[in-house]
Chain A
């Protein structure tokens, strides 16, 4: 069973540019979440999508946006890049969203991440 696939794995951009990152979840998983990981702040929640609808959003500026397609694949976009946006962007998928965790259906499986460097 294929895991969560993120592309591209590495990219370098300059300030002011925009970037789009892609995530293909595990087959059958309908929830996709995005996290930003930096050395100082650790993993911070960006947003979660389920059945093409944004379920939850973290405390990030509007420059960060995302979407989910009917096949559950997801993209996130960062516009007007700033130096502080340099980070590892992680995507995670799960079978469902919310509710009790006892069945394991909410367990998040992470991809390897997309490492963004902004110069």
Chain B
């Protein structure tokens, strides 16, 4: 079983919809949680990172962490065609062990006009 599980999709939604992307994890040592967006033929780019349980908002994006359930989510409001990409969750203990991230396999999102 993988340490981080993520539904691969693909997920197709109409423009303007609210999108919910989710990951579950099994390693309780994970303290930092990130969401990356990856467009085709590009490297991942960081969208948001958070440490504590609860919500963190940035524009149309909200990251939610529930450490007790080992469950994280990314919500996208008013989704746009430009949001069409693969979304990757990533997490790390970020202790003295360095910057190693453990990624989910990614969810492919398509926002249609």
Contacts and interface: CB of A to CB of B under 8 A. Distances in A.
B101 interface: yes
Contacts of A104: 49
Contacts of A4: 43
Interface string B74-91: 000000000000001010
A95 to B, nearest CB: 10
A109 B46 contact: yes
Contacts of A109: 45-46
B6 to A, nearest CB: 8
Q: Chain B interface mostly helix, strand, loop or mixed?
A: loop
A94 interface: yes
Given A42-B88, A101-B32, A108 B100 contact: no
Max chain A Cβ within 10 angstroms of own Cβ: one of B49, B95, B98 = B98
A98 B46 contact: no
A107 interface: yes
Interface stretch (A11-19, A63-71, A72-80, A110-118): A110-118
B20 to A, nearest CB: 20
Nearest to B33: A101
Interface residues of B, number: 26
B43 A107 contact: no
B44 A90 contact: yes
A45 B100 contact: yes
Contact of A43 (B42, B97, B103): B103
Contact of B96 (A48, A99, A111): A99
25 contacts: A4-B43, A31-B98, A35-B101, A42-B103, A43-B44, A43-B88, A44-B103, A56-B97, A56-B98, A92-B43, A98-B95, A98-B99, A99-B94, A100-B94, A101-B32, A101-B49, A102-B51, A106-B32, A106-B94, A106-B99, A109-B45, A110-B36, A110-B45, A112-B41, A113-B43
Max chain B Cβ within 10 angstroms of own Cβ: one of A33, A45, A104, A112 = A45
A110 B90 CA distance: 13
